[in-house]
Amino acid sequence: MTVIFSKKCELALQAVLFLSAKGTDELFNAAQIASKLKAPKEFVAKILQTLTNSQIVGSKKGKFGGFYLAKDPNEIRLIDIVIAIDGLEIFHKCVLGFRGCSFEEPCPVHEKWGELREKTYKMLSEQSLGDLRDRAISKIESL
């Protein structure tokens, strides 16, 4: 169940972790990545295109083409992927969806959500793909 991020963002995070676990010199097409993530190929292809436009993922066209990480895994933070797919709206809007929720007029969970939001943003900003690579490999392999 998706709690904070969209399904698209979750798959983007998984796809990029998959690519980081495989190394920068290997190419994988959308069908291979979708198969590993157990997701529809067309959906994964659109996600990969968005990540390519954001210069997180690179692509090579042609018969032997595919997708690869466009940067060193240590240079890609999880927040970069979240921004590319979902943007930062979740870190600025009311988690309950109330309009006008603010510090001055808080919703019932405003204070607690604010703490969680800040911790989540910090964790996503500090963690690089390189930091998570070894732990991600076993998780990706178990999909």
76-125 tens-digit pLDDT: 999 999 999 999 988 888 888 899 898 899 999 999 988 999 999 999 99
79: in domain: yes
Q: Is residue 25 part of a domain?
A: yes
In this prediction, residue 125 carries a pLDDT of 97
Q: What is the CATH number of the domain that holds 79?
A: 1.10.10.10
Give the pLDDT of residue 142: 72
Does any domain span residue 127?
yes
- Assess if residue 139 is contained within a domain: no
For residue 105, tell me if it sits in a domain: yes
**Does residue 112 form part of some domain?**
yes
pLDDT for 1 equals 40
- 54 burial (CB, 10 Å; 0-12 / 13-18 / 19+) is middle
Domain that includes residue 82, residue range: 7-132
Number of domains in the chain: 1
In a domain, 30, yes or no: yes
Instruction: State pTM to two decimals.
Output: 0.87
Asked whether residue 143 is assigned to any structural domain, the reply reads: no
